[in-house]
Amino acid sequence: MGDSAIGCIITLILSLFAALLTAEAQPAGKVYHLGILSPAAVPDPAVASIPNLVPMALRELGYVEGKNLVIERRFAEGQLDRLRGLAHELVQRRVDVIVAVSDSAIDAAKDATATIPIVMGFCDDDPVSRGYVASLARPEGNITGVTLEAGTMLASKRLELLKAVLPQAGRMAVLTTSEPGARRQVQEAQQAASALGVTLVVVEVQGTDYERAFATMAAERTDALFVLATTMLNRDRMQIIERAARYRLPAMYEWREQAEVGGLMAYGSSVVTLSRRVAAQVDKLLKGARPADLPVERPTQIALVINLKTAEALGITIPPLVLFQADAVLK
């Protein structure tokens, strides 16, 4: 065997040996376990919702499901009394972090564990008054996360904008659910309606029976629809938007993404943007941060989004003053 051949063999052996030493020097990759707890049903993959968006945002941060991330998903299918049992399942699975979607899920997770970090995604109410955290700046317990409203309640503003678009509307339907945060929004909307001279018809959807809910709105001769900001109504956005179009009910929604897929108007934040903030907090906790030291985050941008194509289909002309207030006008 020639010297050159021997040299190649030696080089190859040394390379393999070096690679082996490098592999042994690197610790085995840690696999993280994330729990997601939601009062809603399993969302369609195309719906912009926390259970869909948080894993996508985590992937951008280097967490790949099936490789270094295991996600335990628990959905109550609209049966809120199931949440406590589902939360205890996540604790028994020894997840590293729990993302609790909405107040009802946060309550269940809080009762289930005082040690596993809980990320609110999102808190519908004031997390301090509900006892989730000591303060927004220093939570002090095992809960942190993102709160839905930017320090103020938006139900009254959404109703005011809807009335501005439809000044002749005397009766408006409010689509709600049994979720805790919905009751507060209904109360706020009722106060605003009184000042606006509007009669509210509160319609609570039972399960996913949206056909019955819209039939009730039609029987009550409502002129417009105010869709409350809840986890379940966001999950079922397409069912609601399609029926609003069929029943020719101009509607106001919570998330800009709802207007982007056919809703008439939305006043609020972006579920995509806030889900990224939830994922960022999960990332910090998985890397060793303490929830007590992570401030609760709030939306920094509230936008009015108007879908002119939907307005045209409904035969509505958006007043110039409302268009002037809009942050985005979709054509």
Structure tokens at 267: 């006043």
- Give the model confidence (pLDDT) of 174-214 as tens digits: 999 988 778 888 988 999 999 999 999 999 999 889 999 99
Q: What is the pLDDT of residues 283-330, one digit of tens each?
A: 999 999 999 999 999 988 899 999 999 999 999 999 999 999 999 999
When pLDDT is averaged across residues 122-144 and rounded to a whole number, the result is 92
Q: Is the pTM of this model over 0.85?
A: no
pLDDT tens, position by position, 24-47: 332 358 999 999 999 988 988 888
What is the predicted pLDDT for the residue at 166?
96
| Digit-coded pLDDT (tens) for 223-261 | 999 999 888 898 899 999 999 999 999 999 999 999 999
Residue 232: closest CA among 179, 273, 268: 179
Q: Which fold has domain 32-150+271-293?
A: Rossmann fold (3.40.50)
Structure token pair of residue 287: 């890397």
Give φ, ψ of 252 to 5 degrees. -110, 135
**Residues of CATH 3.40.50.2300 domain(s) within the chain?**
32-150+271-293, 155-268+303-330
CA–CA gap between residue 273 and residue 278 (Å, rounded): 9
Mean pLDDT across the stretch 108-117? 98
Is 70 exceeded by the pLDDT of residue 18? no
Domain 155-268+303-330 has CATH 3.30.428.10: no
Residue 96 has pLDDT above 90, yes or no: yes
| CB neighbour list of residue 211: distance below 8 Å, 6 or more residues apart | 243
